[in-house]
Amino acid sequence: MSLRLRRFRPLVDEPILREMRSDIPLQHRLLAHPDPTAPVDVLAWVSRREALGWFRVVELKETITAGFVQLTDRHGLDRYAWVGIALHPRWQGSGWGRRAMQALAEEAKSGLDLRKLMLQVRSDNQNARHLYGTLGYREVGELRHHYFDGSEYHDVTMMELLLEGA
C-alpha cells in the first residue's frame, strides 16, 4: 500500500497535526517541551519547521494524513541533519513508521545530498529504538537525565546512520 512524503497542505493536514500537537505525552516523546497552556497554532509551527529545515507530511493511500517527518540543523559541509518522525497514534504499529523512515533516508541521500542522519530518542522509547536499530542506526551514546518532562528527567540516546554509498 502506498506511502509518500509530501509538502504540507493546510486544509487537509491541519486537523490531524493539531491533534498530534495537542497530545502532550506524544510531544514529550518527541522531546518537544510542550506547553499545555499555549494555544496550538499548526500553521505557525509548520512555517517555522519549513524555514529551519525540511518538513514533509506522511501521506498514506494517497489521501490519509498520518504524521510527519523532518530534517533540521542540516550541516552544509559535513552533510548531516537531524531526523524527527511522528505518526498519529491511529497509524502507529502497522509498519508505516519503517516505510516512512526508509523514504526519508532515500530522499536525504538522493534529493538532499546528505551523507549522514542523526537523531535523539528518549531511552525509554523502546519501539522507536528497535525500529531505528533494525534500519541500521547505531547508538553512539546516552545523555543522562537530559530531557525534563515537567515531572522527571529522561535519559536520551543519540543514534547515527551513514547513508550507504554517500
**Complex with ligand COA: residue 15 or 113, whichever CB lies closer:** 15
Q: How many CB atoms lie within 10 A of CB 48?
A: 12
Q: Measured from the CB of residue 77, what is the shortest distance to ligand COA in angstroms? A: 25
Phi, psi of 18 (to 5 degrees): -65, -45
C-alpha 142/C-alpha 140 separation (Å) is 7
**Complex with ligand COA: residue 2 or 94, whichever CB lies closer:** 94
**What is the number of H-type helices and E-type strands within the chain?**
5, 7
Q: Measured from the CB of residue 124, what is the shortest distance to ligand COA in angstroms? A: 10
- Residue 155 · residue 142 · CB < 8 Å: yes
**Complex with ligand COA: residue 158 or 166, whichever CB lies closer:** 158
**Complex with ligand COA: residue 22 or 125, whichever CB lies closer:** 125
Residues that bind ligand COA (CB under 6 A): 26, 29-30, 67, 85-87, 92-98, 119, 121, 125, 127-128, 130-131, 134
> DSSP character for 60?
E
Q: Measured from the CB of residue 35, what is the shortest distance to ligand COA in angstroms? A: 18
